[in-house]
Amino acid sequence: SSMPQFLLLAFADRRELQLLHFWLFLAISLAALLANGLILSAVACDHHLHTPMGFFLLNLSLTDLGCICTTVPKAMHNSLHNTTTISYMGCAAQ
């Protein structure tokens, strides 16, 4: 037997709190995207940062961007649309 989807627990049962979670996730993810974008551009543009430390900062920023861009949008979608499911393929991709 195969499972077509998984159930995700909501952060809150009340709709107002779900919308609050959506806006908080949106603000935090936008701030993280901006900060990581600034780090990426600083390391790429400044030749003094082409050192091992800059390399590891670049990798850390890319990893953080990957984590933010895969998990947070689904959580925001579930909070906004009041759904609690994720497909098996979506879960495997995350």
91, part of any domain: no
Domain limits for position 36: 2-84
25, part of any domain: yes
3-state secondary structure of 11: coil
Q: Angle at which helices 52-81 and 15-45 pack, to 10 degrees? A: 160
- Would you write out the chain's pLDDT as a tens digit for each of its 94 residues? 566 787 777 777 788 888 898 999 999 999 999 999 999 999 999 998 889 998 999 999 999 998 888 888 888 888 888 887 887 777 777 7
42, part of any domain: yes
Predicted structure pTM score:
0.76
Residue 75: per-residue pLDDT: 83
